[in-house]
Structure 1
Amino acid sequence: MARSLLWLVSIFSTFSIAYCIDDKCAACNAVAAELEIQLSKEKPRNHLDMRHRLDSKGQRQGKVIDYRMSELRAVELLDGLCEKMQDYTLEKIDSSRQEWIKVDNWDILTIDKQEAKAYSKDISSYCGS
């Protein structure tokens, strides 16, 4: 009973977070832009040597995996991505258009800081969901 209740609460909270973002395409574009920044900062790495076992002749067995295609790369790129989305906020261009922008300095922000921080938490939660 408690597990099913917990499951329902987590489902509803996920849906409520997803619906608080008005323009999901713009939010996804902002997340993709941050991911592109992470990709551009990435340094080349060697292949992953997964040959840890020895056979009866003493030869190493296993695979050598290209780092660019590895799960490790995906985990490293996605690790901390949603926390970095807290640097973004929603800027209203005009009455019909809004855009997610990266804020470098929260002190010189021209819009309401409390509202901007709320938007940054929204996109961070959206990224996580």
Structure 2
Amino acid sequence: MRHRLDSKGQRKGKVIDYRVSELRVVELLDGLCEKMQDYTLKKIDSTKQEWVKVDDWDNLTTDKQEARAHSKDISTYCGRLLEETEDELAESIKKGSVKVGEVSKVLCQDLSKHCSQTSGYHNTGIDDDDIDSEL
């Protein structure tokens, strides 16, 4: 970013590459958890559930009130998780160490330690493309 012009009309100031800028981090993380409201839990069988993206809430075949509650739960959880890890995540993004498709891993396993390596964090049903398409 350059803010000033010298007497010859040349821009002066420090130039910051957008890929490592604070602005990019803010834009990437802004609204991240709101996207989680597009997901809800779906029963696979009597003992298993998975997170699935809901494209049309009006055509949902399960209990809509319960589905919305699950949606709000994951969005709220995302907010808490992001709040706990925001500084570390921002630094990882600036350093370029967060790759496309790895946001779930970075948030759930690497930064927050809420998931073990064998817990299948990548089998959440949540599409990393919805989370990190801008990375």
C-alpha deviation, 1:114, in angstroms: 0.6
Q: CA–CA distance in 2 between the matches of 1:97 and 1:66?
A: 45
Per the TM alignment, residue 55 of structure 1 is displaced from its structure 2 partner at its CA by 6.3
Quote how far apart the aligned CAs of 1:57 are. Answer: 8.0
Paired residue for 2:47, among 88, 91, 96? 96
In 2, Cα distance between equivalents of 1:68 and 1:55: 27
Tell me how far apart the structure 1 counterparts of residues 5 and 79 of structure 2 sit (CA, whole Å): 41
Counterpart among 109, 113, 122 of residue 64 in structure 2: 113
Bigger Rg, which one: 1
Letter paired with 1:109: L
Give the SS at the match of 2:2. Answer: coil
Report the secondary structure of 2:41's partner residue: strand
SS of 1:100's partner is strand
C-alpha displacement of 1:110: 1.5
1:56 deviates by 8.2
Secondary structure of the structure 2 residue equivalent to 1:95: coil
Q: Deviation of residue 54 (structure 1)?
A: 5.2
After superposition, give the CA deviation of every residue in 1:42-97 in whole Å (9 maximum; x if it has no partner): xxxxxxxx222456887543221221221111111211121221111011212332
Computed over aligned residues only, the root mean square deviation of the Cα atoms, in angstroms, reads 2.1
Out of 73-82 and 59-68, give the one that drifted further. Answer: 59-68
Q: Distance in 2 between the 1:125 and 1:63 partners?
A: 38
% identity of equivalent residues: 82
Greater per-residue helix proportion: 1
List runs of 5+ in structure 1 lacking aligned partners. 1-49
Give the TM-score, by structure 2 length. 0.51
| Larger RCO: 1 or 2 (CA < 8 Å, sep 6+) | 1
Are 1:85 and 2:41 counterparts?
no
Name the counterpart of 2:73.
Answer: 122
Superposition misfits of 4+ residues, deviation over 6 angstroms: 55-58
Residue by residue over 1:5-35, the C-alpha shift from the partner in whole angstroms, topping out at 9 and shown as x without a partner, is xxxxxxxxxxxxxxxxxxxxxxxxxxxxxxx
TM-score (norm 1): 0.53
